C-alpha cells in the first residue's frame, strides 16, 4: 500500500478538512446537511471498526475502500433495516468525501474512483397517499381546543395542510415569520437555505391568532413550541399527528388502519390544489420543489384526472356521458 494511504493521521486530517473547509467554508451547507454527513461517518467508522478490528483513530485512508463501502451499504439495509432511499443518502455523503479526496490526495485517485463507481440503488416509488377533503376536515378539528396541547396541535395541523410544509420547515417557523394583517402569509425556511412565502387561508389565520393570544409568544420564539418553550422535534410532530388521527377515527372510519405521516398532509395539499385547477408550476413553488418535474408525481397519483382526460378524447357520440373505464383499464392506469 502507498505509505500515504496507510497513514492514519492523513485520513483523520482529510476527514477534518472535509467537514471544516469543504462543507462549512467552501460550500456553506446547511446545519442539517452537516448533521446528515456526520451521522454517515459515525455509522461508517463504527462499521469499519467491527469489520477491521481497528478503532477509528487507527484507520487509514486505504482501509476505506470500495469493498468496505459496499459492505457498509449492505449492512445498512440488512441489519439496520434502512430503506433504499436512506442507503442512497448515506452513499451520497461517502461519494462527496471521495470527490474531495480525489482532489486533495492524488495518490488516492484510484481508490476514490472505485468508490464513485458504486451506483445508487434503484427502488420502486409507490403511489402518493393523500386524504380526502372530509378526512382532512375531521382531522383538523380532532385536537381538543380546551387544552394547551390541543390549541397548539390545531395550529400545527392547519399549517401543515395550508402550506404543505416539510416537517423541518414547520418546526422552524418563528412568530416573526408570520404576516397576519395585510396579506396573510408565512415565511418558510426550506432545504438548501432557500426561503419561500406561502399565503395563509382565513381559517389558518383565525387559528394562529387564537393561539398567539393564548400562548403569549414573543416574536423570536418558535410558533409551535413544546412545553419547555423549545421548538418541536420531528418525532414530536409525528406523535401529535398520530394522536389526532386516533381521535378523528371514530368520526371518520375511513382513517382506520391508514398510515398517515406529516408528509401525507404535504401530498394532500398538493393533490387538493391540483384538483382545484391550480397550475403545476404554482404548486411547485408552493411546495418548494426545485423543479416542476417533481410535482408531476401528483398527476400520476390522481386517477380521477386520468379518467377526465380519457373522457375528453372519447368519441363524439359518447361525450356528455360519464366515462366508466373497465377494471382492467383502471389497473393499467394505476400502474402508470
- Residues in contact with 146: Cβ distance below 8 Å, sequence separation at least 6, in sequence order: none
Provide the 10 A C-beta neighbour count for residue 133. 11
Instruction: Select which of 191, 196, 209, 210 is catalytic.
Output: 191
Instruction: Select which of 166, 240, 272, 306 is catalytic.
Output: 166
288: nearest Cα among 206, 203, 219, 193: 193
Instruction: Select which of 187, 189, 209, 263 is catalytic.
Output: 263
Provide the 10 A C-beta neighbour count for residue 135. 18
Q: Catalytic annotation on 266?
A: yes
- Residues in contact with 33: Cβ distance below 8 Å, sequence separation at least 6, in sequence order: 23
**CA–CA separation, 328 and 311 (whole Å):** 16
Pairing of strands 178-179, 185-189: antiparallel
Q: What is 214-269 written as a DSSP string? A: HHT--TTSBSSB-TTSSBPPHHHHHHHHHHHHHHHGGG-GGGTT----HHHHHHHH
Q: Catalytic annotation on 289?
A: yes
Instruction: Select which of 267, 272, 289, 306 is catalytic.
Output: 289
Neighbour-count burial of 299, counting CB atoms closer than 10 A to its CB (0-12 exposed, 13-18 middle, 19+ buried): middle
Q: Catalytic annotation on 191?
A: yes
Q: Catalytic annotation on 209?
A: no
Q: Catalytic annotation on 267?
A: no
Instruction: Select which of 266, 267, 272, 306 is catalytic.
Output: 266
198: nearest Cα among 163, 168, 148, 233: 163
List residues with catalytic annotation.
Answer: 166, 191, 263, 266, 289, 298
Amino acid at each position: 500500500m502507498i505509505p500515504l494511504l496507510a497513514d492514519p493521521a492523513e485520513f483523520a486530517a482529510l476527514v477534518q478538512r472535509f467537514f471544516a473547509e469543504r462543507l462549512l467554508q467552501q460550500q456553506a451547507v446547511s446545519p442539517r446537511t452537516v448533521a446528515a454527513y456526520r451521522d454517515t461517518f459515525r455509522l461508517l467508522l463504527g462499521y469499519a471498526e467491527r469489520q477491521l478490528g481497528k478503532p477509528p483513530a487507527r484507520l487509514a485512508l486505504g482501509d476505506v475502500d470500495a469493498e468496505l463501502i459496499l459492505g457498509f451499504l449492505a449492512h445498512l439495509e440488512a441489519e439496520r433495516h434502512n430503506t433504499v432511499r436512506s442507503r442512497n443518502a448515506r452513499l451520497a455523503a461517502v461519494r462527496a468525501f471521495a470527490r474531495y479526496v480525489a482532489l486533495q490526495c492524488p495518490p488516492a485517485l484510484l481508490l476514490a474512483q472505485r468508490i464513485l463507481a458504486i451506483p445508487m440503488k434503484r427502488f420502486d416509488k409507490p403511489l402518493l397517499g393523500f386524504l380526502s377533503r372530509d378526512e382532512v376536515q375531521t382531522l383538523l378539528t380532532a385536537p381538543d381546543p380546551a387544552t394547551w396541547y390541543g390549541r397548539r396541535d390545531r395550529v400545527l395541523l392547519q399549517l401543515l395542510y395550508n402550506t404543505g410544509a416539510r416537517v423541518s420547515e414547520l418546526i422552524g417557523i418563528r412568530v416573526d415569520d408570520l404576516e397576519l394583517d395585510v396579506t396573510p402569509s408565512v415565511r418558510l425556511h426550506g432545504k438548501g437555505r432557500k426561503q419561500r412565502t406561502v399565503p395563509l387561508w382565513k381559517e389558518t389565520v383565525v387559528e394562529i391568532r387564537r393561539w398567539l393570544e393564548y400562548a403569549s409568544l414573543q416574536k423570536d420564539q418558535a410558533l409551535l413550541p413544546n412545553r419547555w418553550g423549545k421548538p418541536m422535534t420531528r418525532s414530536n410532530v409525528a406523535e401529535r399527528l398520530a394522536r389526532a388521527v386516533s381521535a378523528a377515527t371514530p368520526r371518520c372510519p375511513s382513517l382506520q388502519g391508514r398510515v398517515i405521516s406529516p408528509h401525507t398532509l404535504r401530498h394532500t395539499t398538493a393533490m387538493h390544489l391540483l384538483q382545484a385547477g391550480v397550475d403545476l408550476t404554482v404548486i411547485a413553488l408552493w411546495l418548494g420543489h426545485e423543479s416542476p418535474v417533481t410535482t408531476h408525481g401528483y398527476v400520476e397519483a390522481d386517477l380521477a384526472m386520468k379518467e377526465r382526460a380519457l373522457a375528453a378524447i372519447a368519441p363524439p357520440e359518447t361525450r356528455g356521458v360519464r366515462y366508466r373505464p373497465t377494471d382492467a383499464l383502471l389497473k393499467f392506469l394505476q400502474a402508470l
